Structure 1
Amino acid sequence: MARAGGDGRQTMSEAATVDLPRDFESLRGVILARRDALPKRIAQIAAYALDNPDEIAFGTAASIAEAAGVQPSTLIRFAQHLGFDGFSSLQEVFRERLRERNSSYEERLATLRRNDGVLPGNHRILEGFLTASRKSLDVMSRTIDDAALDRAIALLAQAETIYLLARRRSFPVTSYLAYALAKLGVRSQLVESAAGLNAEIASFATGKDVALVVSFSPYTPATIEEARVLAERGVPLIAITDSAFSPLASFSDIWFEVAEADFGGFRTLSSTMALAMALAVGVGEARRAAPPPARRRKSAEA
């Protein structure tokens, strides 16, 4: 427990020590909570840090500052602003994140093993994932922007075709959406091709369509680039991502922040899938309720 100052209150340095983020998720939460109050240059390096955590983990102060477009001294001020005594202490949080993210599945299993080296029982593993899922769902229930949800469904419902973009861990979300939308009679196109024709498929999208993209840190570069090209061509973009500093947030018409909890380094997709289901069903209902001409009108937000 921190000591109180002479007037019975904690000093600023003591309070910072108590609140010091010890892992990447905690650090991310602190940055996002303070983003509106961050000075311009510190906000700039904060955005770069969350967008490029690997570079922060292993870059030098000089190389990171150059890439982020700030002075090296800004890195120190950024670290101290968050309660760290210097940039190297902050950098260790990013390095630990990289060790966790890049761990093999065998290493992740090792984190679940008991002291005797044996994995917990199957029911205990299930309970771990259920607990992580409940945590994720509870956060989404408290933080979802209802107005943004309504706007997203209205925009999707008016689209001639919904283009779905995702890769790697995020791909199951768009795969499900393609299935659900087809069952609901809503035309969609999964931007995925074994022949490597993703760019050609996406090139058919126009301003009358909508692209829905899903990507989480460390953000698959190809997905980000395809989404950026669509946005530059005037295709409305809705994103599901995990940070206000995600590259998708800067050029999406509407975006949703979804932070999934993990169990032993394995992340669930419970909140993301719940949001995807809500979007699909909402679009299906909006299409059923609205007459065809209304569905073809461009969004009032455009």
Structure 2
Amino acid sequence: MTTDSATTSAAGESDGFETWLRGRVPERGLRSKGASVLEVLLTQPRRASYSSAAEAAELAGVNVATVSRTAQALGFSGWSDLQQELRARFLSSLSAPEVAAAQHTEGELGAASLRRDLESLAMLDRRFDEQQIRTIAEAIAQARRVLIVAHGSYASIGAALSHNVRLAGYDATLTYDADLANAVSRIEPGDVLVAISFWRLYQHTVTAAEEAHSRGARVFVLSDAASPDLAAAAEEVLLIPAEGVAFFPSLAPGLAVAQAIVAQLSTVDPERTRKSIEAAETQWSRFGLMHRQPRRG
């Protein structure tokens, strides 16, 4: 069996890949054929993360049913769910040029990007956990203050979330870069921190989550594959598909989850949200923000 040693080393060092995967093995262990599948995942993450269940079975010298049973033994609903997280963790070990090379996308990238987003949203729908969304929405509603941490292109997800949380009538602040340390220094028990990061993860985001957790705040994570350190600091980790087709991950599934959170938040105290939106609408009119004004009854 050929070992992708560079990939295994990089993934193991940067994102706890081997620790994560071995940590999902049940206490009773795996049967010999299941152990063969695990060995393929550990030693050939590149090939496995882009293989069908049949191809993974061939690599391991087992049948497709064994691949499915092994995925379930590792805590996934099946091969596709295991493969999605495996690929996210594999891609997080690569640089941007390496990600583009690993994708092997053919044809027009614009159309391929749209198709990938649709596939990711379908996967997100299959794995959607309403209780997680409800927990986060209720935590935001009860919080003294909500701090949302997001960097780079992911800041767009954080901006949408913070904007709509405020519109729903609750205090929320998006912070990043130099102001992050100052914002975290003011965190207290009763606060909520939402950490948003995908692909290789921003160290500042992990540090902020750890510090918030140590200060008694409730921490929630939106990520495609949270590192062990980030997951350890979080009350809930929402795993969101984020694979793109070029140099960067997709933002569409993350934005969809942010919208799901605020939609649920609006049901916690509908009267509060109604008053907040009405007050905002009044100021939009006062400042002349909208090109088209609503009809008055």
In the alignment, which of 110, 116, 131 is matched to residue 132 of structure 1? 116
Q: Does 2:148 match 1:164?
A: yes
Q: In the alignment, which residue of structure 1 is the partner of 2:24?
A: 36
Q: In the alignment, which residue of structure 1 is the partner of 2:169?
A: 185
CA drift of 1:41 comes to 11
* Match runs of 1:1-302 below 5 Å: 36-38=24-26, 82-84=38-40, 90=44, 97=91, 101-103=95-97, 124-192=108-176, 196-243=178-225, 245-289=227-271
Q: 1:142 to 1:213 in 2, by over 3 A?
A: same
The one-character-per-residue Cα deviations of 1:235-277 (angstroms, maximum 9, x if unpaired) are: 1111112236543211211221112232244421111110001
Q: 1:34 to 1:206 in 2, by over 3 A?
A: same
The one-character-per-residue Cα deviations of 1:139-193 (angstroms, maximum 9, x if unpaired) are: 1111122222211111111112210011123221111212222322321111235
Q: Which runs of 5+ in 1 are unaligned?
A: 1-12, 14-23, 43-78, 115-119, 292-302
CA drift of 1:126 comes to 3.1
Please, what is the CA RMSD of the aligned residues? 4.1
Cα distance between partner residues in 2 of 1:128 and 1:31: 33
Q: 1:173 to 1:221 in 2, by over 3 A?
A: same
Q: 1:260 to 1:125 in 2, by over 3 A?
A: same
Cα distance between partner residues in 2 of 1:132 and 1:203: 39
Q: 1:253 to 1:259 in 2, by over 3 A?
A: same
The one-character-per-residue Cα deviations of 1:42-79 (angstroms, maximum 9, x if unpaired) are: 9xxxxxxxxxxxxxxxxxxxxxxxxxxxxxxxxxxxx9
Instruction: Give percent identity, aligned residues only.
Output: 16
TM-score of the aligned structures, taking structure 1 as reference length = 0.59
Q: 1:81 to 1:130 in 2, by over 3 A?
A: closer
Counterpart residue type for residue 247 of structure 1: D
- SS at 2:267 equivalent: helix
Counterpart residue type for residue 191 of structure 1: T
The one-character-per-residue Cα deviations of 1:61-120 (angstroms, maximum 9, x if unpaired) are: xxxxxxxxxxxxxxxxxx9663449x8x548769x9579633189x67x966x7xxxxx6
Contact 2:149-2:175 at 8 Å conserved across structures = yes
Q: 1:145 to 1:290 in 2, by over 3 A?
A: same
Counterpart residue type for residue 170 of structure 1: Y
Contact 2:20-2:228 at 8 Å conserved across structures = no
The one-character-per-residue Cα deviations of 1:11-40 (angstroms, maximum 9, x if unpaired) are: xx9xxxxxxxxxx9xxx9999788533569
Cα distance between partner residues in 2 of 1:99 and 1:256: 20
Q: 1:41 to 1:103 in 2, by over 3 A?
A: farther
Contact 1:178-1:190 at 8 Å conserved across structures = yes
Q: 1:178 to 1:147 in 2, by over 3 A?
A: closer
Q: Which runs of 5+ in 2 are unaligned?
A: 2-10, 48-86, 274-297
Contact 1:213-1:227 at 8 Å conserved across structures = yes
- Worse-matched range after superposition: 228-237 or 153-162: 153-162
Contact 1:191-1:202 at 8 Å conserved across structures = no
Q: How many residues are matched?
A: 217
Q: 1:264 to 1:30 in 2, by over 3 A?
A: farther
Cα distance between partner residues in 2 of 1:129 and 1:184: 32
Cα distance between partner residues in 2 of 1:246 and 1:169: 23
